[in-house]
Structure 1
Amino acid sequence: MITIIKQSPQRRETIRYQGEVVEQLPNGLLIQAYWTLPTRDLGYVCFEKGDSFLEYYYIDRWFNIFAIAHPDGKPKGWYCNIAEPAYISDTSIEQVDLLLDVWININGKHIILDEDEFAQATNLSEQQRQGAQEGLEALLHLLHTQQAPFTTLSDFGA
């Protein structure tokens, strides 16, 4: 098991949970985690107890990617956080969230979330803003060119 720690742009912890290391990637880790919180309906997707999260964390990319599936393995889509490159140790993954998010449904249609919050945030450094913009562009490039993990729905794990 490994502890995942999401932090605000000021590096304050916002959430902590456990996951299992599935694979060591050349530039990060692939983690299996499960939704254990109460149901959270975001309008475009609903997270429910038992949902499977196959989480990709990178030490050299300004985002992470969560492939989300129902408890029975049926895919829901991908939730992507624009974030600083992850800090990975033997016991934890720490990542600073930069407010922008992207939802990608199973058909590959995407929604960029929280653009207003990002634009109005006064607590982001210039490096964080630039990294976030580069991360968003790189993530959308992976999606549009159907690179991993967006190549097939078989990347969803349960």
Structure 2
Amino acid sequence: MGVDGAKGGRLVPGAEVTVRLVKAPRPDKSYPAAVVGDDGTRIVVRAPWAGGTARDFGFVRFEPGDVFTEHFWRDRWYAVKEVRAADGTLKGWYCDVTRPARVTEEDGGTLVVADLDLDLWRSADGRLVLRLDEDEFAASGLSGRDPEAAARAEAALDELERLARHDGFTALTG
């Protein structure tokens, strides 16, 4: 079982967990990952690129064999994903603005994260920091439906950008 009830719903290191990204109104995305750690606030999992085939974003190419070490928080509005090529070379960090993560006990443990459409990319060398999908966020209508959540999402993207330009997430994920 991936969830240890004695630890208040923490995920057990070494266990398999399903990560479910809630992308409403689009279909959710789910993929398997291995739990690296869970201290009750930050959850770390490792997973292969879940896209199946290569995907070129223009600023980075994700491909089969890439490994994502993903950091989720129960008290922060984002996730930070370190991306490495199959040979271990660091490609950079892909960050999602999300609602705080939660763990359900379905299927032995599911890590559920609601994606809020805003993203950030930081290249391995730190020369490239890109705010992504701000147009999708605006089109989502979150500002009208839930102004508080929209403000938290925008603040989270600002914080991610500051962190990306300062230390590349070392203090946050180390």
TM value normalised by structure 2:
0.79
1:115-130 aligned at under 5 Å gives the runs 115-123=134-142, 124-130=145-151
1:2-81 aligned at under 5 Å gives the runs 2-9=17-24, 13-36=27-50, 37-81=52-96
Which stretch has the larger CA shift, 33-42 or 69-78? 33-42
Within the alignment, does 1:136 sit opposite 2:150 as a pair?
A: no
Aligned length, in residue pairs: 152
Answer yes or no: is the 8 Å Cα contact 1:104–1:110 preserved in 2.
Answer: yes
* Residues in 1 aligned to 2:164 and 2:170: alpha-carbon distance in whole angstroms: 6
* Residues in 2 aligned to 1:20 and 1:115: alpha-carbon distance in whole angstroms: 31
Answer yes or no: is the 8 Å Cα contact 1:98–1:128 preserved in 2.
Answer: no
SS of match in other structure, 1:64: strand
Aligned to 2:5: none
Answer yes or no: is the 8 Å Cα contact 2:23–2:116 preserved in 1.
Answer: yes
* Residues in 2 aligned to 1:64 and 1:146: alpha-carbon distance in whole angstroms: 16
Counterpart AA for 1:150: T
Answer yes or no: is the 8 Å Cα contact 1:38–1:48 preserved in 2.
Answer: yes
Aligned to 2:118: 100
Higher alpha-carbon Rg: 2
SS of match in other structure, 1:21: strand
Superposition CA RMSD, Å:
2.2
SS of match in other structure, 1:134: helix
SS of match in other structure, 2:164: helix
Answer yes or no: is the 8 Å Cα contact 1:22–1:30 preserved in 2.
Answer: yes
Larger relative contact order (Cα-Cα within 8 Å, sequence gap ≥ 6): 1
Answer yes or no: is the 8 Å Cα contact 2:120–2:161 preserved in 1.
Answer: no
User: Unpaired segments of 5 or more residues in structure 2?
Assistant: 1-15
Deviation at residue 13 of structure 1 after TM alignment: 4.7
Answer yes or no: is the 8 Å Cα contact 1:56–1:66 preserved in 2.
Answer: yes
Answer yes or no: is the 8 Å Cα contact 1:143–1:150 preserved in 2.
Answer: no
Structure with the higher helix share, 1 or 2:
2
Percent of aligned pairs with the same amino acid: 31
User: Unpaired segments of 5 or more residues in structure 1?
Assistant: none
Answer yes or no: is the 8 Å Cα contact 1:82–1:97 preserved in 2.
Answer: yes
Counterpart AA for 1:97: D
Deviation at residue 121 of structure 1 after TM alignment: 2.3
Deviation at residue 26 of structure 1 after TM alignment: 4.9
* Residues in 2 aligned to 1:142 and 1:25: alpha-carbon distance in whole angstroms: 22
Q: How far does the alpha carbon of each residue in 1:9-46 deviate from its partner, in whole angstroms, 9 at most, with x for none?
A: 45x65200000011223512110100141111111111
